[in-house]
Amino acid sequence: MNRQIVKLFGLIVALFAVLVGFTSYWSVFDAEALKEEDANKRPLLEQQQIKRGRILAADGTVIARSLPKGKGAALRYVRRYPEGPLFGHPIGYSFVQQGDSEFEQFHNDELVGNDSEFTSILDELRGRRQEGNDIVTNLDASAQAVALEDLAAVGFGAVVAIEPQSGRVRVLASNPPYDPSRVPYELTKLNQNEMEAPLLDRGTQGQYAPGSTFKVVTAAAGLDSGTITPETTIDAPGTLEVQGQELHNDFDESFGPIALDTALTNSVNTWFAQLGEQVGEDTLFEYMDRFGFNGKPAIDLPPNQLSTSGVFDQGRLLGPSDPVDLARIAIGQERLAVTPLQMAEVASAVANGGRLMKPQIWSRVVDPDGRVTDRLDPSQYSQPISEETAAELNTAMQGVVREGTGTNAAIPGVTVAGKTGTAETPYNDSCGGGTEQNQAWFMGFVPADEPRIAIAATVECTTQFGNDVAAPIFRDVAEAILNGE
Amino acid sequence: MISARNRELTALVPVALLLTAGFTAVFAQEGSRIDDVSLIYGAYFLAVCLATHIYLRVRLPDADPYLFPLVALLTAFGLVMIYRIDPSLARDQANWFVLGLVLFALTIQFLRDYDLLERYRYTIAVVGLLLLLAPRLPGIGQQVNGAYLGVKIGPLAFQPAEFSKICLVVFLASYLREHREVLIVGARRVLGVTLPPLKHFGPMLVVWGASMFMLVFIRDLGSSLMFFAAFLALLYVATGRFSFVAIGMAMFLVGAWFFASTVPHVHDRIEIWLDPYAHPQQSGYQILQSIFAQADGGLFGKGFGQALITIPGTDNALLPAAQTDTIYSLIVNELGLFGACGVVAIYLLIAARGFKIALIAGDGFSKLLATGLTAVFAIQAFVIIGGVTRAIPLTGVTLPFISYGGSSIVANFVLLALLLLVSDRARRESSSSARLGAPALEGR
């Protein structure tokens, strides 16, 4: 019998080896994947026991903080948003049951204090509880409030304001807003509200027809590629037949041979349509790429919550080899869809002598002892156009506000450079139908000679023009930022 | 050469130290109150172990020296884990530990001549079957999580399957000792497969029937699996015929397959095992949380007292049945893969010592008894650890000596007592025969 007993023991050893194998698989080899499972609330529950760091506006206003609840083993922290709906976008929310979003999600590691394996082992040895870091953002609380108030008065839309030299995001407002404090109670309701879509950050996720604001991109491509100079004239008739359909100027006004200044000031469609065709599809797409179109923006928000700007055919991003109506793309129509953030980046690049900085919401990370452990080091995303081209565009954009289509953006005592846009969006489902529906835009920067802020403002589903509804928002937000400094 | 009992004594010291260290760690975690209590627990535990050791010194001087310290280690480990979950549960467990040792001593006292068991084997078999049936009897039976596992008579509640497994092993060891020759000699080869003689097929069918009965009426998939596996192990050791085992396995699989497709309770268990993510909040919750707890532990674990068992701020379980079914997952969570490997290694060492006893035992009954007891013990550990690691479907058997539960502790101490009884005789015989220069006899 002894032989069988030894064999039986061998079998038991093999069975126990299987147990060790399975335990190793779950605890080590598959552990990371298991922590990502939706059904696994452990990582969130454990994070809930860590005092998550605060999120602050540039002036120290507390946007988010965590308050303790319960004691001992039941101790947990609950996220509070004292400013309510003011920073619902772009800060987002962080709750155990509902998960997290936007800035809270992107900067999770810093906020919960997951610095590095080494420091956490050190902390554990010292018997220290893991504690999160505070993050100070670049957001301007009063300008954000102005943006939301102005938007609330005219309709759904968004405002994005970026500091051109550094890429610091000062305002990222989306209307309608939502209160992140309410998320634990009404997330389902917020999600189901498709008409208002309050959880959609229109500044970074809204995809709108850019209208005439896109003419700045067309002009940039034309100038920078050498297709035209500021003196080059193009004959601009009242109407122009492109691809079998007539393309009109406002009131079919005919301008004759004019140069860039006049064309941009009066937003002459037939002029830019011809420029677009002269520039050619390859070059125009290349300049779009350089400005950040056709890819996710380099902002500190989760990529899955950012929209790409570009030409889309039923959700598919088109490239330079796809057949498109170039003349209509040149004036911001066709199938162009852009985010307010992208247009703010265009304005920012022109304002900063052609250098586009990476837009960033965070400014510095402060550890629980009050030490600054990390500080934003502004970095350049690209240089889409030369300094010379930027200066020429700057001059032309000043004319728009001084004497052209964007006079409502003017601020007394300061030179403003900008561009209006009004894209006709008839039968737009999200506007509830109707033919008199526009997407109104204004983008620009101030002061024109020494730019301190670049802003894009847009309003959905309005019957008015960019100069009527978007330019005043631009002006108010710009004033709030300039006065606040 | 150090005597067996002195080795046992030496081995008990690290066990007591480990228990003290464990309690200290738990206390340190619970709000920095390292007080004398951890030392008192350690001293108390050591005193009980010493008393048992002295008893063994008198009664079974030649018994295996490592089994008791290994079991004490598991019990100490279990006490620390249970204390960490709920101190009041640990108090119960400590009382059961003492009760278990009392029954352990009584078993050694009255079954010193364990050949008695052979004489009463049919009585024991009937008692075992009755114990299995008891949970279905009206008035005393209790249903736990859809399975009929418990019996409650007045204030006394216990899980009869834990005791029934010992009865079954004793009966099988005795029956197979007597019939192994006929089973081997009378075997016929039919179509290339060696079949046991038909007239001795009966008792095997009874065991198979009992397993299936448990599956269907007691709904205790885990015990059913454990019983049948122990039966096959004994059958194999007794006859050396792998074909018998294959036939038995086939019968079990056919039966299990049949009932899995007809009995919803069994069917659900299999479905959950194959796809726990189908209903992550309901039926799949326990196994998923068990695995997530292990993922949370990693290589080194979170440390004693650091893992989450309930959802903070509520009484809702994050790791359901942490003190019983899923205690192994909690061990992985807090002590990591290394700690878990240590636990598995202790079970393996116990199995090794148990089979060693079977190897040196002089007579067939002793051999089969030691083999059966060791096998059923090791398989029980495999069934529950395999269950919570999703190697096999999760079923509610206890992790021997670690899980919270009086029946489990007491029954396993009786099992240990029987093993030590066999060991004492075997080692005495083998050492005396070695002195006489005669080879140890195999079989009788």
Return the percentage of chain B with pLDDT > 90, whole number.
33
d(C-alpha B197, C-alpha B105), whole Å: 41
Burial (Cβ within 10 Å: 0-12, 13-18, ≥19) of residue B244 = buried
- A51: helix, coil or strand? strand
CB B108 within 8 A of CB B421: yes
By Cβ distance, the residue of A19, A28, A42 closest to B385 is A19
Residue B169's nearest CA partner among B233, B100, B103 is B233
CB A274 within 8 A of CB A255: no
Report whether pLDDT(B444) > 60.
no
For helices B67-85 and B87-110, give the axis angle rounded to 10 degrees.
Answer: 160
CB B272 within 8 A of CB B287: yes
CA distances from B169 to B228, B374, B429 (A): 11, 10, 23
d(C-alpha A325, C-alpha A334), whole Å: 7
Highest mean pLDDT among A113-122, A439-448, B82-91: A439-448
> Minimum mean pLDDT among A397-406, B42-51, B293-302: which range?
B42-51
Name the more confident of A346 and B229.
A346
Place of tokens 């922590």: A35
pLDDT at residue A123, rounded to an integer:
58
Query: Cα torsion for B74, B76, B80, B86, to the nearest 10°?
Result: 90
CB B392 within 8 A of CB B29: no
pLDDT digits (tens, 9 = 90+) for B283-307: 889 999 999 999 999 898 888 777 8
Residue A91's nearest CA partner among A167, A208, A199, A207 is A199
Q: Where are the domains of chain B?
A: 120-262
Residues of chain A contacting B391 with CB distance shorter than 8 Å: 18-19, 22
Is B347–A16 a contact, with Cβ atoms under 8 angstroms apart? Answer: yes
Q: Write the ipTM.
A: 0.91
Strands A417-424 vs A362-366: parallel, antiparallel or unpaired: unpaired
Residues of chain A contacting B236 with CB distance shorter than 8 Å: 4, 7-8
Domains and CATH numbers, chain A: 42-137 (3.90.1310.10), 141-177+207-362+379-484 (3.40.710.10)
Conformation bin of residue B336: beta by default, left when phi > 0, alpha when psi is -120 to 50: left
Best to test chain A binding among B179, B273, B287, B294 (most A CBs inside 10 Å) = B294
Kindly list the residues of chain A whose beta carbon comes within 8 Å of any beta carbon in chain B: 1-9, 12-13, 15-16, 18-20, 22-24, 26-28, 30-31, 34-35, 37-42, 45-46, 48-49, 69-70, 72-76
pLDDT digits (tens, 9 = 90+) for B250-288: 888 888 788 777 777 778 888 899 999 988 888 889 999
Q: Is the peptide bond before A90 cis (omega within 30 degrees of 0)?
A: yes
Residues of chain B contacting A14 with CB distance shorter than 8 Å: none
- pTM value is 0.68
pLDDT digits (tens, 9 = 90+) for B379-406: 999 999 999 999 998 888 899 999 998 8
Residue A137's nearest CA partner among A177, A168, A164 is A168
d(C-alpha A198, C-alpha A180), whole Å: 11
Residues of chain A contacting B291 with CB distance shorter than 8 Å: 26, 34
d(C-alpha A60, C-alpha A135), whole Å: 10
The number of residues in chain A equals 485
